[in-house]
């Protein structure tokens, strides 16, 4: 029967994506053949439920093909070896099956921010751009690799690193409900630490993150650039968690090596786990993302419109979903058909002609707008009349090109820490809805219309 089970797994491996097979099918063990009943063992109750709901029919079909007859499948929970099912394991399973789920009087804490309900592994569309990151996150969440306790996800904004990070939290809370999952941004971590010092409760803060946390999901690590006190505290916290074999997932727009003003201890902690990047999705992946989003929201669009949106909206996942919402909303408001013409009218207002936007074209536009020269932009001058245009140009370069921060900083004859500071200054100015926002909006509009 072991040979038949091996054939069944081979058949299923050809039917489903590799990451799904590794996560749900591969851990299943053949327990015994009791007449016309095949007994299979799943690692835990969560896995058993998932396999039955999503792969039960496929397993029945594959077993019929491999065995040549229909067999009843009984799914059990445990790690027993084939043919060695003990009385204790039988009693344990009976208790698990009979135990009633008690009301969640004190559910596990997710600390600072709540996990988004739709940020799960099921809702994440895997492509070549994210296959390794997805597999690594799934493996850590399932606790398959005992030696893998830390994962560092980095990508540009809107490509899914927050989704994967929170998916880990959701999975762990479902599969291991007693574990304490803390999800927080680096900015909130710093604010909470500062407040603890102010209220003379730093001991409680340290106790919370070092001893009462099983899984730490830390977003936007790059925010801590230059924050010496917070870096030191976080470094000590991470060391404590790592020594206790706790799980840590970081996310950032930059790899650790590109975050300036980061002390060596913290950089070492961030680098000691698995570091993986999520790239921009290709056409096929964008098409699947659109269809998945439409299915989740109950939208109905023609294949032609899906293909048009996937071919035109190439920046990130957020842009794809924004285009989808724009098309369906406009069609609803106008009581019109969501056809190609309508989709084109929506896309024209949001698409960016990136192919024609380069570092040089951005510099030329900024120079004309601020009445400075190219030499001024790359000079060592610290006059405000030069610094501000330079900061805006760096911001636009990061936004509209695929160049790394190091390449951008070198292009402006600056250190990479200076470029990161420029991005923060402009981002803050844009949020304040003042003159800076108007400057950036005007220049962005010129770039997107090819008038640089």
Say whether pLDDT at 97 is over 80: no
The pLDDT tens digits of the residues spanning 4-29 come to 888 888 888 888 877 778 778 888 88
Return the pLDDT at 355. 53
The SS3 assignment for 278 reads coil
What's the pLDDT band for 109 if we cut at 50, 70, 90?
very low
Give 36 or 196, the one with higher predicted confidence: 196
Where residue 390 sits, what CATH number does that domain have?
Answer: 1.10.1750.10
Q: Do 247 and 373 fall within a single domain?
A: no
Say whether pLDDT at 100 is over 50: no
Q: Do 336 and 255 fall within a single domain?
A: no
| CB-based contact 112:261 (threshold 8 Å) | no
- Output 257-260 pairs: Cβ under 8 A, ≥24 positions apart: 258/404, 258/405, 258/406, 258/416, 259/221, 259/222, 259/224, 259/225, 259/420, 260/225, 260/226, 260/415, 260/416, 260/417, 260/420
| CB-based contact 118:296 (threshold 8 Å) | yes
Return the pLDDT at 55. 85
Q: Do 147 and 40 fall within a single domain?
A: no
As a whole number of angstroms, the distance between CA 244 and CA 84 comes to 33
Return the pLDDT at 146. 65
The SS3 assignment for 277 reads strand
Please count the structural domains in the chain: 4
Provide the residue range defining the domain that includes 289.
283-347
Return the pLDDT at 157. 83
Query: What DSSP line would sit under 111-144, residue for residue?
Result: -SSPPPTT-STTTPPP-TTTHHHHHHHHHHHHT-
Q: Kindly state whether residue 92 falls inside one of the protein's structural domains.
A: no
Query: What is the average pLDDT across 333-342?
Result: 90
The pLDDT tens digits of the residues spanning 270-326 come to 988 899 999 989 889 999 999 999 988 888 899 999 999 998 888 888 889 989 999
Q: Do 272 and 296 fall within a single domain?
A: no
Q: Do 272 and 293 fall within a single domain?
A: no
Return the pLDDT at 144. 62
The pLDDT tens digits of the residues spanning 117-171 come to 889 888 899 888 999 999 899 888 887 666 678 999 999 888 999 999 999 999 9
Q: Kindly state whether residue 107 falls inside one of the protein's structural domains.
A: no
Return the pLDDT at 237. 92
Q: Kindly state whether residue 373 falls inside one of the protein's structural domains.
A: yes
Q: Do 414 and 428 fall within a single domain?
A: yes
Q: Do 312 and 369 fall within a single domain?
A: no
What's the pLDDT band for 34 if we cut at 50, 70, 90?
confident
What's the pLDDT band for 101 if we cut at 50, 70, 90?
very low
Q: Do 163 and 225 fall within a single domain?
A: yes
As a whole number of angstroms, the distance between CA 362 and CA 358 comes to 6
Where residue 323 sits, what CATH number does that domain have?
Answer: 1.10.8.60
Residue 211 DSSP code: T
Which residue from 152, 141, 149, 198 is spatially nearest to 175, judged by alpha carbons?
141
What's the pLDDT band for 96 if we cut at 50, 70, 90?
very low
As a whole number of angstroms, the distance between CA 347 and CA 327 comes to 9
Q: Do 258 and 191 fall within a single domain?
A: yes
Q: Which of 236, 261, 277 is the last residue of a domain?
A: 277
Where residue 272 sits, what CATH number does that domain have?
Answer: 3.40.50.300
What's the pLDDT band for 113 if we cut at 50, 70, 90?
low
Q: Which of 232, 261, 277 is the last residue of a domain?
A: 277
Return the pLDDT at 351. 67
Q: Kindly state whether residue 109 falls inside one of the protein's structural domains.
A: no
As a whole number of angstroms, the distance between CA 249 and CA 272 comes to 12
Return the pLDDT at 150. 92
Return the number of other C-beta atoms located less than 10 Å from residue 414's C-beta.
18
**Among the listed ranges 68-72, 375-379, 391-395, which one has the minimum average pLDDT value?**
68-72
* Buried-exposed string 240-250: b where 16+ CB fall within 10 A, e elsewhere: ebbeeebbbbb
As a whole number of angstroms, the distance between CA 26 and CA 396 comes to 47
Q: Kindly state whether residue 171 falls inside one of the protein's structural domains.
A: yes
Q: Do 289 and 242 fall within a single domain?
A: no
| CB-based contact 77:41 (threshold 8 Å) | yes
Q: Do 229 and 144 fall within a single domain?
A: yes
Burial label for 52, CB within 10 Å (0-12, 13-18, 19+), is: middle
Say whether pLDDT at 91 is over 50: no
Q: Which residues pair with 251 in a beta bridge?
A: 153
The pLDDT tens digits of the residues spanning 203-237 come to 999 999 988 899 999 999 998 888 899 999 999 99
> Checking phi first, is residue 111 left (phi over 0); if not, alpha (psi -120 to 50) or beta?
left
What's the pLDDT band for 441 if we cut at 50, 70, 90?
confident
Q: Which of 82, 117, 146 is the last residue of a domain?
A: 82
Q: Kindly state whether residue 263 falls inside one of the protein's structural domains.
A: yes
As a whole number of angstroms, the distance between CA 113 and CA 162 comes to 12
Q: Kindly state whether residue 139 falls inside one of the protein's structural domains.
A: yes
Say whether pLDDT at 410 is over 80: yes
Q: Kindly state whether residue 106 falls inside one of the protein's structural domains.
A: no
Q: Do 376 and 411 fall within a single domain?
A: yes
Spatial neighbors of 81 by CB under 8 A, at least 6 apart, are none
């Amino acid at each position: 029967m072991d040979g038949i089970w091996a054939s069944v797994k081979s058949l299923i491996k050809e039917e489903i994506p590799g990451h799904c097979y590794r996560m749900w099918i591969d851990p299943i063990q053949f327990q015994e053949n009791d007449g016309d009943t095949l007994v299979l063992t799943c690692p835990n109750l969560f896995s058993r439920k998932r396999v039955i709901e999503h792969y039960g029919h496929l397993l029945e079909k594959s077993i019929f093909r491999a065995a040549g007859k229909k067999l009843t499948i009984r799914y059990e929970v445990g790690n027993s070896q084939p043919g060695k099912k003990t009385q204790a394991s039988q009693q344990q399973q009976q208790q698990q099956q009979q135990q009633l789920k008690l009301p969640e009087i004190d559910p596990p804490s997710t600390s600072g921010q709540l996990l988004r309900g739709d940020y799960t592994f099921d809702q994440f569309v895997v492509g070549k751009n994210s296959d390794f990151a997805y597999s690594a996150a799934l493996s850590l969440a399932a606790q398959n690799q005992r030696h893998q306790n830390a994962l560092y996800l980095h990508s540009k904004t809107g490509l899914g690193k927050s989704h994967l990070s929170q998916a880990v939290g959701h999975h762990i809370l479902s599969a291991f409900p007693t574990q304490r999952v803390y999800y927080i941004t680096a900015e909130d971590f710093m604010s909470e630490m500062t407040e603890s010092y102010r209220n003379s409760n730093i001991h409680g803060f340290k106790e919370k993150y070092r001893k009462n946390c099983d899984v730490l999901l830390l977003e936007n690590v790059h925010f801590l650039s230059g924050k010496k006190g917070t870096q030191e505290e976080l470094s000590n916290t991470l060391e404590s968690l790592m020594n206790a074999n706790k799980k840590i997932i970081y996310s950032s727009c930059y790899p650790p090596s590109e975050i300036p003003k980061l002390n060596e201890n913290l950089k070492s902690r961030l680098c000691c786990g698995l570091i993986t990047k999520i790239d921009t999705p290709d056409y096929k992946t964008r098409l699947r993302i659109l269809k998945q989003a439409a299915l989740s929201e109950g939208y109905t669009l023609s294949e032609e419109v899906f293909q048009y949106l996937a071919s035109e909206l190439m920046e990130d996942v957020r842009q794809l979903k924004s285009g989808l919402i724009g098309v369906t909303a406009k069609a609803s408001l106008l009581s019109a058909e969501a056809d190609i013409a309508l989709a084109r009218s929506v896309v024209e207002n949001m698409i960016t002609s990136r192919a024609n936007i380069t570092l040089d074209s951005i510099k030329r536009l900024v120079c004309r707008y601020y009445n400075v020269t190219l030499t001024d932009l790359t000079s060592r001058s610290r006059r405000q009349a030069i610094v501000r245009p330079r900061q805006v140009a760096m911001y636009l370069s990061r936004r509209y090109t695929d160049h790394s921060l190091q390449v951008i900083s070198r292009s402006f004859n600056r250190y990479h820490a200076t470029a990161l500071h420029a991005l923060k200054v402009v981002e803050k100015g844009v949020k304040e809805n003042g003159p800076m926002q108007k400057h950036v909006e005007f220049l962005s509009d010129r770039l997107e219309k090819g008038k640089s």
